[in-house]
Amino acid sequence: MAVSEQYLEYALGQLAAAGLAPLRHRRMFGGVGLYLDETFFALIENDTLRFRVDDGNRPDYEARGMEPFRPWRDRPAVMA
């Protein structure tokens, strides 16, 4: 779940340009967790930005063909 410095800088720049600032990030689980204030809202893994979802916004992501985060590619478990 490596994250390149180039992708991390790109993602942080895009989120800041969208008005999400100030952001904090922390390396975790081989990826990078993103926080706005004290709220963990996204994870970058394998140079892919994945937003945290819940039952309220999950249909929006699914309607766009986005799949749930699977931390272990060889297991069917997903993170909710």
pLDDT tens track of the chain, all 80 residues? 589 999 999 999 999 999 998 999 999 878 999 999 999 999 998 899 988 888 899 899 899 998 877 666 676 655 55
User: Where do the H-state alpha helices sit in the chain?
Assistant: 5-17, 58-63
Say how far apart CA 1 and CA 29 lie, in whole Å: 8
pTM of the complete model beyond 0.75: yes
Residue that is written with structure tokens 């931390």 in the block: 71
Do 34 and 15 touch, CB atoms closer than 8 A?
yes
Residues with Cβ within 8 Å of 66's Cβ and at least 6 positions away in sequence, in order, are none
pLDDT number for residue 80: 54
Give tens-digit pLDDT for 24-47: 999 987 899 999 999 999 999 889
